[in-house]
Chains A and B, each alone.
Chain A
Amino acid sequence: MDRAKSALIRNNIYPDTPPINSNMSSISQSDLAALSDSSKKEIASFLDSENSKQRVQMQVHEFTNSCFKRCVSSVTSPDLSSQEEECLSNCVNRFLDANIRIVKSLQNVQ
């Protein structure tokens, strides 16, 4: 079994164990220390962009979790009905509308 798969199973079934990759075992400390300033900058901006992509991904996980519960009532086929699909899409849009409205109201209170 490859590393990614075993880490996945481990993380899900034994969530208390530290993630397999957390010790950066595959990159030596001396390699890291030898990185040039331009490489460090490159990695920093790479991290920034991966981070913002990841925030969107995590939001999608959250929305899917909460909208699936509300929009998909029974499982009788692997496909989404058109009503379910519309409900999911509306669910995200209405959540964001509410979110924006709340932020605006709170800004006015200040």
Chain B
Amino acid sequence: MGLGSFFGKKETPEGAAPAVPTSQDPATLQVKQQIQQELAIANATELVSKVSENCFEKCLQAPFSQGNDPCIDQCLAKYMRSWNVISRTYVARIQNASDTGEI
């Protein structure tokens, strides 16, 4: 899976007017792409570090004489699903607060 497809994906629905007018200037496009790529890398780096920390804790025990790859694989899947649940809940909450004029 490409990093760009995971964290750098466009969230604007098809056909929706873009918030910012887009130019065709190649240098501008390149700057934007580089910004998005760096953000995607930062997000992926953060995810890898958090999953490693959490799954190491859940799957391995001192004195760490053996690994537990099946647990690590399941834990990664579980962490990604958790990430999605939390993202959905948080975004819904932000949406809700903005609809009711709270923020």
Contacts of B90 in A (CB 8 A): 56, 59-60, 63, 92, 96
**B interface, size bucket:** 35 or more
B49 at the interface (CB under 8 A from A): yes
Please tell me if the beta carbons of B28 and A89 are within 8 angstroms of each other in the complex.
no
Q: Of the candidates A8, A39, A50, A56, which one forms a contact with B36 in the assembled complex, judged by CB atoms under 8 Å apart?
A: A50
Which residue of B is nearest A13, CB measured? B48
Given contacts A4-B4, A42-B28, A50-B35, contact A92 B93 (CB under 8 A): yes
A105 on interface, CB distance cutoff 8 Å: no
Distance (whole angstroms) from the CB of B60 to the closest CB of chain A: 11
Q: Is B66 an interface residue (CB 8 A)?
A: no
Question: Is there contact, CB below 8 Å, between A58 and B71?
Answer: no
Give every chain A residue within 8 A of B16 (Cβ-Cβ): none
Give the secondary structure class of B's interface.
helix
A34 contact set on B, CB distance < 8 A: 27
From B2, B42, B77, B94, A56 is in contact (CB under 8 Å) with B94
Q: Is the CB of A56 within 8 A of B31?
A: no
Shortest C-beta distance, B9 to chain A (Å), equals 11
Q: Given contact pairs A26-B30, A85-B85, A93-B89, enumerate 6 new A-B contacts (beta carbons under 8 Å).
A: A4-B40, A8-B41, A8-B44, A21-B41, A27-B34, A77-B78
A-B contacts, 8 listed (Cβ < 8 Å): A4-B44, A31-B30, A39-B25, A45-B19, A46-B20, A71-B82, A75-B75, A91-B86
